[in-house]
Structure 1
């Protein structure tokens, strides 16, 4: 790709030779492809522009689990759930600070969106059962058969190909063109450095957040300034730059998804289900330091605050066997992330801590015990022990352009631009303004539900234009 070009907003008429499309979508991750597939289902034309050679983004790096309530897949597995219960769980995790209009909109839109992707585009979803991620009161994590984000992206790409959705790759959008208070098109840079232009009736920003932009992270998330970034390089903050240039309203810029279980050497997420099912984290001194059941996002800050910014996930053989259902864990184990100790002395030697301190920690993990941090234990850990050395990582941001329930970008006075939409990582999410507000799966919830809503809004705008 050519040298990086700063995002900009251009005013005035676009180049006369720029082709015209009804809807232009910036970004071909889960959000952009969902939006495009929903438009295809409404027989509406669009073009998706993707900066990389192949669509992947943060979705491909994630677990690929999408939370949804009231889906066909849930009903097929006998799971009773509702959008209202899901919305309550989102707000409970965010301590009531998530944008109420988006919580309601996304909680209601996500189930029809997954059903449409399944029924209309052939994606297969199953609901993960047998455990609950922190904050969820029902099994509602939907996964494709591969149980990976890469598998989800592969299926979305195949569906887009089958629907004949035009996806232009190696097209880094750098320009938003505005005229008379509306979006009129965009400019994108090709690998040879040339800029091409595209006119549109509706513009959807489905690009990602700013986690890959170190300057913005230092400015907006100072506690994560030196953290490992586990997301995609495309998280360059373009939406923030365009928003500032437009004087658009930005919201929840302090919200993000961290992860407290990033295998330090291998660069792979270790499933937090190990913690919720009985595993613990200890620091370099062999001591627990937080309630691991509160969530993996806020755990990132807790881990980074430990000596050396590292911790050890400690679990036993039943949990090792449980974790085999997660492909990412299997990959991490194959890469040498999981180490085994026959007894406490060997585990202490592995960690480099005092065996007596570690023994005292493990003695506190027993059925019915309640730790000082409030964690209640249902089981003890028995030798042999298994451990993974981890650090805290920044995965993706949850703040961005402020939007209404129809995904329209808002001006400072709260009024929407008529045809400029944003969803997914480009927009504010439903995690509030802090790391602890992130409920497991909020990122893909915003991406898929936001993609579906933006498509519905775009279709309505096109219909209104045709009727005038």
Structure 2
């Protein structure tokens, strides 16, 4: 059986090796010069919520069948990854809501690539999926662009793992921003929706939640940093700050969720796609995971981000006003926030403020300009629990087409779940389904 895997990130590498281990002939298309995708820029944590009740509470609009699949498969799949030469660096996530393990992304990629080659798999670099080909109502391979030329790759099944469409300005504007503007990219630039577009053109069904994404608020331009610094420069302390938009108003519950994904998405809806995190000295001493807020602010400064400092809120508001934030409105917003929090009425604010909620009182005060950045999309292609892509016409599987990683949409609709868990679990599931379906077809 011939399987074509499009995409050489974690999902594609796992799908390719899983297919080879099941006896298939495999060709892997990698759009760049080497496999790895955005996985190599990540912190390496592969995790899930501890139980279905927590998963449903954190992501209530997500596909329950896919969430159950991740819960059931992640523990053995983490073991599978370790058995293939990538030992876990840590088995704790630092979050009581989740379980999982941390890996060295570069080592994982090197190990999987080596094993794919040793098992006889073909890895084509600088190779981009263009069009899925069909014959008799089923997927029969793909047309591929490589090094300035085009070729046809026949296959009995295609597994899409091209990483969603985070790097496509057109698709991000159409589905996520629904208008002008541009999100910073916190990933590699090759996830431009190749698999998503090709599947829709072949009659596939899109998942719910195409307007969703996972990302972080990063130091706003003129800050400049490399992809290797994406984790370091992330400004992951909104829950300890007051977030103001360009109009000097709070625009979201800064502590609505532990991951601050909701805050990032709300920032993407603000004028100019910019905001300010206002902090006092007490907030700077707070810890988020293994860093203090002060260390994250320092990372923004090193990257050339805009960080304002003053000995009073009045002086800080004056400095914000120099950058276009209305002085009186900013002071009124901060005053109303402090009064409500001090009186234990943070939930009565508009927008409400969840815990932790602390007044902004202790000098010096700081304001850090942030901008939302997208790591990956959370909407994509509709799949069943076997990662078979469904048809738009009738909601049934489109024969021969599978999706892995964030290409399979719906898990995180309305919330946030690990994209790397989707890569590992769905990569293995897609490979298993493709091989099993192929064997079943031969028996008919």
Aligned counterpart, 1:310: 274
Distance (Å, rounded) in 1 between the aligned partners of 2:297 and 2:113: 30
> Are residues 210 and 285 of structure 1, via their aligned partners in 2, closer, same or farther at CA, if it must alter by over 3 Å?
closer
Distance (Å, rounded) in 1 between the aligned partners of 2:126 and 2:175: 29
1:168-317 → structure 2 map (5 Å cutoff): 168-191=124-147, 193-223=148-178, 225-230=180-185, 231-259=187-215, 261-265=217-221, 266=223, 268=230, 271=234, 273-276=236-239, 278-284=240-246, 286-295=248-257, 296-315=260-279, 316-317=283-284
Aligned counterpart, 1:13: none
Q: Note if 1:161 corresponds to 2:161.
A: no
Distance (Å, rounded) in 1 between the aligned partners of 2:44 and 2:410: 17
- Does the aligned pair in 1 maintain the 2:213–2:378 contact within 8 Å? yes
- Post-superposition shift, 1:33? 1.3
- Post-superposition shift, 1:336? 3.5
Distance (Å, rounded) in 2 between the aligned partners of 1:247 and 1:466: 24
Give structure 2 stretches of 5+ with no counterpart: 225-229, 322-326
Distance (Å, rounded) in 2 between the aligned partners of 1:329 and 1:34: 36
Q: Select which of 383, 390, 395 maps to 1:414.
A: 395
Distance (Å, rounded) in 2 between the aligned partners of 1:100 and 1:299: 24
Distance (Å, rounded) in 1 between the aligned partners of 2:85 and 2:75: 15
Deviates more, 1:406-415 or 1:336-345: 336-345
Aligned counterpart, 2:98: 139
> Are residues 289 and 399 of structure 1, via their aligned partners in 2, closer, same or farther at CA, if it must alter by over 3 Å?
closer
Question: What TM-score, normalized to structure 2?
Answer: 0.80
Distance (Å, rounded) in 2 between the aligned partners of 1:367 and 1:64: 41
SS in 2 for 1:402: coil
1:261-410 → structure 2 map (5 Å cutoff): 261-265=217-221, 266=223, 268=230, 271=234, 273-276=236-239, 278-284=240-246, 286-295=248-257, 296-315=260-279, 316-319=283-286, 324=291, 332-337=300-305, 339=307, 341=309, 343-345=311-313, 346-352=315-321, 353=327, 356-357=331-332, 360=335, 361-362=337-338, 370-371=346-347, 372=349, 373-377=352-356, 379-380=358-359, 382-410=362-390
Aligned counterpart, 2:54: 89
Give structure 1 stretches of 5+ with no counterpart: 1-20, 70-80, 145-150
- Does the aligned pair in 1 maintain the 2:177–2:211 contact within 8 Å? no
Distance (Å, rounded) in 1 between the aligned partners of 2:356 and 2:262: 20
**What's the Cα RMSD here?**
3.4
- Does the aligned pair in 2 maintain the 1:368–1:376 contact within 8 Å? no
Q: Select which of 71, 75, 89 maps to 1:111.
A: 75
- Post-superposition shift, 1:328? 8.4
> Are residues 309 and 49 of structure 1, via their aligned partners in 2, closer, same or farther at CA, if it must alter by over 3 Å?
closer
- Does the aligned pair in 2 maintain the 1:127–1:139 contact within 8 Å? no
Deviates more, 1:391-400 or 1:46-55: 391-400
Aligned length: 413
Distance (Å, rounded) in 2 between the aligned partners of 1:329 and 1:56: 29
Residues 232-279 of structure 1 show CA distances to partners (whole Å, capped at 9, x for unaligned) of 432322233323322222221534215461321236565464234x33
